[in-house]
A and B are shown apart, each in its own frame.
Chain A
Amino acid sequence: MEQAPPDLERQWQPAPLEPLGHTDAGLQAAVGEEAEGSRDEVPGDGTMTENNFGLKKIEISVSEAEKRTGRNAMNMQETYTAYLIETRSVEHTDGQSVLTDSLWRRYSEFELLRNYLLVYYPHIVVPPLPEKRAEFVWHKLSADNMDPDFVERRRIGLENFLLRVASHPILCRDKIFYLFLTQEGNWKETVNETGFQLKADSRLKALNATFRVKNPDKRFTELKHYSDELQSVISHLLRVRARVADRLYGVYKVHGNYGRVFSEWSAIEKEMGDGLQSAGHHMDVYASSIDDILEDEEHYADQLKEYLFYAEALRAVCRKHELMQYDLEMAAQDLASKKQQCEELATGTVRTFSLKGMTTKLFGQETPEQREARIKVLEEQINEGEQQLKSKNLEGREFKFGPMLRNALARCNPVK
């Protein structure tokens, strides 16, 4: 009763992103089978189900950011930033784009969307969001979320997030994602109605608990190991980079002191006056040039952070797989023991110790009817267990053949 795993790998192409910072017009995201077919060499197999959008090709952009004030859950005044998401549909024939949807979302709503995706697609490496708080800061960069440079970089990060989700063959079909882009009001309620929070809570508890699988999948172990190391090295890199930026800032700014003293010196000189004055001016220019340089470098740091979070997401998938594997093993174990019990009852031989066996010995045999009843219950449980095992196996398969994961696994091999 196994389904053939959908041959998703061939139809998936990672969206080639333009360098960050040049996304004014937004990038096109191919959604829907026709659009994908136009980008891939291989035409759609027809195994893909039709999407819910009815859209052929869309452009998504996070084009603006705005400061807002409102009241939060505790009815206190708060200031936050809202981002304008514009969706355009692109006509095949003339390439013209028409604005179809436009709404404002704040960061917490993006977070909600992502958390939902994490729960409902545990086998997919969900693209990361830009950081919630400014981390790895050096002294000049304010950790203030209202800082315009920070907001601008966040805008870019949010846009990349949406584009990546929209490029994903599975995620792009999600109804909640579609509503995120199109339904401004009431979206939060819709998400919460899916009840994903509950599933998330129980999952989270399980993920945090320590457990050991008997037969871990070697590829997932390697992948988890890689993502751990990647996280560690990128964190280290970001920390040192922040210190380097801090020091470089110091070097440039101290040169600014030359500006004043050269100017003062030029005042007492005759022939040298002009030259010294000019030198002082250039020192000032030099000192102030560092601000732009370091702001540009923040974009580089952002890309590193992106992959730091990606590594986190990758690790989370590995962990979920581990959890699932563990459940599978437990279920299989449980099934095996129940089958054995059933067999023992049927044949009347007691091979394993059980309380029932003891009581039977002590208080006499049970009636054949009682025994029949018990066998029946056990058989039902066995059936249930087998069904469960089958579905768990299927889940596991999905996990293994999740497209992005397959790529990640394939990439792991050349390293070792």
Chain B
Amino acid sequence: MSGGPPKGLPSTGPHSLLDMPHPLAGSSSEEAVGGDSTPSPDLLMARSFGDKDLILPNGGTPAGTSSPASSSSLLNRLQLDDDIDGETRDLFVTVDDPKKHVCTMETYITYRITTKSTRVEFDLPEYSVRRRYQDFDWLRNKLEESQPTHLIPPLPEKFVVKGVVDRFSEEFVETRRKALDKFLKRITDHPVLSFNEHFNVFLTAKDLNAYKRQGMALLSRVGESVKHVTGGYKLRSRPLEFAAIGDYLDTFALKLGTIDRIAQRIIKEEIEYLVELREYGPVYSTWSALEGELAEPLEGVSACIGNCSTALEELTDDMTEDFLPVLREYILYSDSMKSVLKKRDQVQAEYEAKLEAVALRKEDRPKVPADVEKCQDRMECFNADLKADMERWQSNKRQDFRQLLMGMADKNIQYYEKCLMAWESIIPLLQEKPEANGSPLVFIPWWSL
């Protein structure tokens, strides 16, 4: 994925999703084209709970030296992870194999969704379907509707600036695929969301569009509560913990935004540095052509600088493709979480207002009316769901960021190691002294001091 001009994807031609044979009907292996980059779902699951979890996030310990977990909080977290990991896992979802579809009306990309599950909610043990971005968008909206008390993971950005970004470039599609994969995995990990009906259909249905049309008329049971929160209630006092969450998310999103800007600036500076390096190296070649004994060392320096330039280009590509998208994803996450918090405030406000109204009426003194009780239930459910989700979110956030920041550190280290190797390889060449009485030019490079 590094270097080279962005490549377009091979197109499958004008096919519609309906024409796709059922994965289990024929030989499904034939459909899996170009799947060498697809790790098995098991491997993917395991990766997020790998060796790196055992390393405390302190002072940049390089990967490979695992310091024993000493803080109790880390142990607690491992135990928490055990609940999700291992034997209890019964649903695996993967997004891969992007393909371009050229139709008369439009051109778009579909991704293959592979599902493996032993859950009773699934008729078959394995499914493979094709979905496009707007399907994901539909799913997310449905989840927000049907599970308003839960935090729904974010999708990668919907709109891209047409002139600036090539929607069909390999880099863009790969970045998007990773984000979509993350999206589905987060839902899969969620004890409530993963059992959602719409999610199930998304993973399994041959014809999603038919279901979508059906769903317009349907009103899900869980979604009723959403309709009844009309809003416009003023909140008396926000419970401390939710206020704290709100404040935290505000600052968190702010800091991530700053980091995003700094990272972009760094990439820009690195690219400008790269431009100069690409002019610098060849000058040594020009010089080398003038010289006799010095020709080889100078040519060596030129090649060395060329290698450093290539390494730098790889670094900037990696940062752009792997680092920035995750930051943006979490900013979007924070935004959607804030709106869920607002909804919670509304539910609480409604309950408080109704309660107050009853108190003022003074009629039903001992007995609280049914609808007030219902409001109270709703509020308490919401609070409980949200708290649980927040904890889960915090835990995942820690893992995600550890992986992200260590990845960034690793990429930088690799860059410097490549440069070091390039320079070290020419030191013997540079130290070859010419014969006595030879060139008065004594070439002692500063970097070998």
Residues of A within 8 A of B (CB): 13-14, 16-17, 19, 21, 226, 229-230, 233-234, 236-237, 240-241, 243-244, 246-248, 250-251, 254-255, 257-258, 261-262, 264-265, 268, 270-272, 274-276, 278-279, 282, 296-297, 299-300, 303, 307, 404, 407-408, 411, 414-415
* In the complex, B366 has a CB within 8 A of chain A: no
| A258 and B262 form a contact (CB under 8 A) | yes
* In the complex, B356 has a CB within 8 A of chain A: no
| A407 and B437 form a contact (CB under 8 A) | yes
CA distance A128 to B433 in the complex (A): 23
Binds A, one of B55-63, B87-95, B125-133, B187-195: B55-63
* In the complex, B279 has a CB within 8 A of chain A: yes
Give the contacts of B432-449 with A (CB-CB under 8 A). 436-442, 444-447, 449
CA distance A233 to B284 in the complex (A): 8
| B440 and A268 form a contact (CB under 8 A) | no
* CB-contact partner of B276 in A229, A247, A408, under 8 A: A247
CA distance A411 to B434 in the complex (A): 12
Nearest-neighbor residue (CB-CB) of B436 within chain A: A13
Which A residues touch B258, using CB under 8 A? 261
Known A244-B273, A274-B58; judge A16-B442 contact (CB<8 A): yes
Nearest-neighbor residue (CB-CB) of A240 within chain B: B280
CA distance A13 to B283 in the complex (A): 31
* In the complex, B207 has a CB within 8 A of chain A: no
| B265 and A254 form a contact (CB under 8 A) | yes
* In the complex, B211 has a CB within 8 A of chain A: no
CA distance A279 to B438 in the complex (A): 51
* CB-contact partner of A255 in B73, B266, B398, under 8 A: B266
CA distance A296 to B59 in the complex (A): 28
| A254 and B437 form a contact (CB under 8 A) | no
Which B residues touch A244, using CB under 8 A? 273, 276-277, 280
CB distance from B31 to the nearest CB of A (A): 42
CA distance A296 to B446 in the complex (A): 7
CA distance A275 to B283 in the complex (A): 43
* CB-contact partner of B57 in A243, A264, A271, under 8 A: A271
CB distance from A285 to the nearest CB of B (A): 11
* In the complex, B108 has a CB within 8 A of chain A: no
Binds A, one of B115-123, B154-162, B247-255: B247-255
Which A residues touch B287, using CB under 8 A? 230, 233-234, 237
Which B residues touch A236, using CB under 8 A? 283, 286
* In the complex, B405 has a CB within 8 A of chain A: yes
Ranked nearest first, the 9 interchain pairs of A and B with the lowest CB-CB distance are: A275-B57, A247-B273, A300-B446, A414-B292, A265-B255, A278-B59, A250-B269, A233-B287, A251-B269
* CB-contact partner of B437 in A13, A257, A261, under 8 A: A13
CA distance A240 to B272 in the complex (A): 13
Give the contacts of B219-251 with A (CB-CB under 8 A). 248, 251
CA distance A247 to B276 in the complex (A): 8
* In the complex, B401 has a CB within 8 A of chain A: yes
| B266 and A254 form a contact (CB under 8 A) | yes
Which B residues touch A279, using CB under 8 A? 60, 405
Q: Pick from A21, A226, A240 the residue with the most CB of B within 10 Å.
A: A240
CA distance A300 to B446 in the complex (A): 6
* In the complex, B410 has a CB within 8 A of chain A: no
| A233 and B290 form a contact (CB under 8 A) | yes
* In the complex, B106 has a CB within 8 A of chain A: no
CA distance A261 to B402 in the complex (A): 17
Label chain A's interface by main secondary structure: helix
Known A275-B58, A275-B59; judge A251-B266 contact (CB<8 A): yes
- Given A233-B283, A404-B440, 12 other A-B contacts at CB below 8 A? A233-B286, A237-B283, A237-B284, A240-B280, A240-B283, A247-B272, A250-B269, A251-B266, A254-B266, A261-B258, A274-B59, A278-B60
Known A17-B442, A271-B73, A272-B398; judge A240-B58 contact (CB<8 A): no
CA distance A276 to B408 in the complex (A): 14
Known A244-B276, A251-B269; judge A271-B398 contact (CB<8 A): yes
Nearest-neighbor residue (CB-CB) of A230 within chain B: B290
Interface size on B, residues (CB 8 A): 51
Please encode chain B, from 383 to 413, with 1 for each CB lying within 8 Å of some chain A CB and 0 for all others: 0000000000000001001100100000000
Known A250-B269, A258-B259, A261-B262; judge A415-B439 contact (CB<8 A): no
Which B residues touch A303, using CB under 8 A? 444, 446
* In the complex, B36 has a CB within 8 A of chain A: no
Which A residues touch B265, using CB under 8 A? 254, 257
| A268 and B442 form a contact (CB under 8 A) | no
* CB-contact partner of B290 in A14, A229, A247, under 8 A: A229
| A251 and B440 form a contact (CB under 8 A) | no
Nearest-neighbor residue (CB-CB) of B275 within chain A: A247
| B441 and A307 form a contact (CB under 8 A) | yes
Known A251-B266, A275-B57, A278-B59; judge A407-B283 contact (CB<8 A): no
* In the complex, B363 has a CB within 8 A of chain A: no
Which B residues touch A14, using CB under 8 A? 440, 442
Which A residues touch B248, using CB under 8 A? 268
Nearest-neighbor residue (CB-CB) of A261 within chain B: B258
* CB-contact partner of A411 in B58, B402, B439, under 8 A: B439
Which B residues touch A240, using CB under 8 A? 276, 279-280, 283
| A274 and B276 form a contact (CB under 8 A) | no
| A251 and B280 form a contact (CB under 8 A) | no
CA distance A241 to B281 in the complex (A): 10
CB distance from B184 to the nearest CB of A (A): 26
| B292 and A411 form a contact (CB under 8 A) | yes
Which B residues touch A296, using CB under 8 A? 446, 449
* CB-contact partner of A250 in B273, B275, B286, under 8 A: B273
List 25 contacting pairs A-B, 8 Å CB cutoff, sorted by A: A17-B442, A19-B446, A229-B290, A230-B287, A236-B283, A237-B287, A247-B275, A250-B269, A250-B273, A251-B269, A254-B269, A257-B262, A258-B259, A261-B255, A261-B258, A264-B255, A265-B251, A265-B252, A270-B73, A271-B57, A297-B446, A299-B446, A300-B445, A307-B441, A415-B290
Which B residues touch A19, using CB under 8 A? 444, 446, 449
CB distance from A332 to the nearest CB of B (A): 34
Give the contacts of B266-304 with A (CB-CB under 8 A). 266, 269-270, 272-273, 275-277, 279-280, 283-284, 286-287, 290-293
Which B residues touch A300, using CB under 8 A? 445-447
CB distance from A384 to the nearest CB of B (A): 40
CA distance A179 to B266 in the complex (A): 56
Which A residues touch B292, using CB under 8 A? 411, 414-415
CA distance A237 to B288 in the complex (A): 12
Nearest-neighbor residue (CB-CB) of B409 within chain A: A279
CB distance from A14 to the nearest CB of B (A): 5
Known A268-B251, A407-B440; judge A226-B60 contact (CB<8 A): no
Which B residues touch A276, using CB under 8 A? 57
